[in-house]
């Protein structure tokens, strides 16, 4: 088992919370991860999610996630080469975070739609 989630990004401190936020603490990243948990793998699928992520941000976040080791891409066709994006083990292990968020929202945000319990989907 490789332990990572590394690199390029500057660390504000060594605190577990701060480090995690440096990786996934923004408006969009966790939504992409949510989509992956629920079976989406392709650029277009992420783009089509109802929140409407801008394409430049989607591209940027997929690369950050890849270089952090949370997501891996592999070609699903050639001519032209197209990639699908899937959670790595480190990425999948974010499941409990997602789950606790969904639970919290279900309790404290009125009228929220909770996705049907996190399913750990990895190989289509």
Partner DNA sequence: TTTGTCACTTGCAATTAGCAAGTGAGTGGA
Partner DNA sequence: TCCACTCACTTGCTAATTGCAAGTGACAAA
Query: Which residue from 87, 98, 96 is spatially nearest to 121, judged by alpha carbons?
Result: 87
44/113 with CB nearer DNA: 44
| Residue 75 site contact among its own copies, DNA, none (CB < 5 to 8 Å, cut-off depends on kind) | none
Residue placing its CB nearer to its own copies in the complex, 49 or 83: 49
Distance CA 60, CA 66 (A): 10
- Of 107, 117, 120, 123, the one binding its own copies (CB under 8 A) is 107
Which of 55, 103, 119, 122 binds its own copies (CB under 8 A)? It is 103
Q: With CB cut-offs between 5 and 8 Å by kind, which of its own copies, DNA, none does residue 79 bind?
A: DNA
CA distance 90 to 67: 12
The yes or no reply on residue 60 touching its own copies (CB under 8 A) is no
CA distance 87 to 46: 14
Question: How would you label 37-64 residue by residue, b for 16+ Cβ within 10 Å and e otherwise?
Answer: beebbebeebeeeeeebeeeebeebbeb
Q: Which residues bind DNA (CB under 7 A)?
A: 26-28, 42-44, 52, 54-57, 59-60, 62, 79-80, 82-83
Which residue is associated with the tokens 């430049």?
56
> Which residues lie near its own copies (CB under 8 A)?
3-6, 12-23, 25-27, 30-31, 34, 50-52, 90, 93-94, 96-115
């Amino acid at each position: 088992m490789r332990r990572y989630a590394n690199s390029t990004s500057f660390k504000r401190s060594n605190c577990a919370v701060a480090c995690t936020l440096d990786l996934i603490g923004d408006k969009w990243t966790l939504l992409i991860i949510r989509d992956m948990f629920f079976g989406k793998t392709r650029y277009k699928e992420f783009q089509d999610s109802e929140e409407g992520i801008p394409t430049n941000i989607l591209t940027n976040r997929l690369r950050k996630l890849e270089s952090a080791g949370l997501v891996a891409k592999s070609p699903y066709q050639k001519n032209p080469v197209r990639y699908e994006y899937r959670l790595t083990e480190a990425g999948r292990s974010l499941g409990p975070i997602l789950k606790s968020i969904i639970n919290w929202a279900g309790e404290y945000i009125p009228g929220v739609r909770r996705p049907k319990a996190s399913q750990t989907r990895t190989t289509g």
